[in-house]
Amino acid sequence: MLTRRIARRIIPRGRTGTAHHHHHHHHQNHRLPRATTRHLHLHRVHLPSQHPTYTPYALATSLQESLAAPHHAYKAAPETADGARDLAPPQPSLLSFTPAPTYTLGRRQRTLDGEVEGALTAPLRVSSPTEWSSSSSEGGNDDPGSGRGSQITLTPFVTHSPRGGLTTYHGPGQLVLWPTLDLRSPLHPHLTVRSYARLLEDTTSHLLRTLYGIEAVLDPENPGVWARRPAGGSEIRKIAAMGIHLRRHVATLGIALNLTTPVSGAGDVNPWARFVPCGIEGREVTSVEAEGGEGRRGEFGGRGLLEGEVVAGLWADEFVRRLERGDGE
């Protein structure tokens, strides 16, 4: 019920996918050339989180399913003899949120045995992230109401995800960015799975370089975005995970960027210490904060550059620019 209520609030009835304003063109031919002149509009949905309340992963998953539904309806609509459809193509969307602690398993992974699952779901101590302390009242460090320094204990969930790959972690201090789009939509140059993955990675690495001065690199062997430190060195650490699920060319899931997620210490505070991320031995995980990126945060519209909503907006702008240009083709 909660999901339906929130979905109704965010996606008004009859307006799912933001394609509603094209309905008066019903009888025109909607088949468009690959480099389309139709205006591309990214429908943005940000789920606000504030310590100690975080978005349940299952809620975000069902919301993304609602955002994908108009794309599947469009693809299922009958085509006329010349390949046109009576429906206008739905616009792409971006769902962004900071999740409650969750370990997701890849679709090919078997259910974990009790001992392994027990280690993942042990109580996790979660501190109020730096992103909110930047907007807290000055001098209120010890005031529990100020949102600074408060620590709570949460029990992580373990769930299966439709992506490939092995176990990964999502949780507080992280910004999850899930675009929903049709790789073959007439609204933008067509994408392959490979070029779409590259688009997600390039958008993220561009943001890390320009916002925080982090040397973000790609690893041809392993998906996601990696931070190199020291600059030009050989050691890289994973700063953003990527997972894509495709059904009839409609892409869901996306990128999870570590802003202030704890990446060091024992398993009671460091969620990564409980497993081998993505099954890659000997590779460390990092965050914008751990890479020293918060020192350059500056202000953006009076808000810190480690705030999820601010970063999501900047990521969305860059994503649309690259999508319209046909990057990654």
Q: Is residue 115 part of a domain?
A: yes
Domain range holding 244? 56-69+92-135+165-329
Angle between helices 57-76 and 2-10 (to 10 degrees): 60
Give the single-character DSSP code of 85.
Answer: B
Q: What is the CATH number of the domain that holds 319?
A: 3.30.930.10
Q: Is residue 201 part of a domain?
A: yes
Q: Is residue 178 part of a domain?
A: yes
Q: Is residue 244 part of a domain?
A: yes
Q: Is residue 175 part of a domain?
A: yes
Whether 278 is catalytic: yes
Single out the residue of 145, 142, 169, 147 nearest to residue 157, CA to CA.
169
Q: Is residue 285 part of a domain?
A: yes
Query: In degrees to the nearest 10, what's the CA dihedral of 66, 243, 93, 134?
Result: 110
Planar angle of CA 247, 61, 111, nearest 5 degrees: 85
How many domains does one find in the chain? Answer: 1
Q: Please give the radius of gyration of the chain, using alpha carbons only, rounded to the nearest integer.
A: 20
Q: Is residue 109 part of a domain?
A: yes
pLDDT tens sequence for the chain (329 residues): 444 444 444 443 333 333 333 333 333 333 333 444 468 999 999 999 888 899 999 999 999 999 999 999 999 988 777 777 778 899 999 999 999 999 988 777 777 667 777 889 899 999 886 543 443 333 333 333 444 458 899 989 888 777 767 788 999 999 999 999 999 999 999 999 999 999 999 999 999 999 998 999 998 888 899 998 877 777 899 999 999 999 999 999 999 999 999 999 999 999 999 887 655 555 689 999 899 875 554 555 555 677 899 999 999 999 999 999 887 55
Q: Is residue 309 part of a domain?
A: yes
Looking at 120, 216, 241, 278, which residue is catalytic? 278
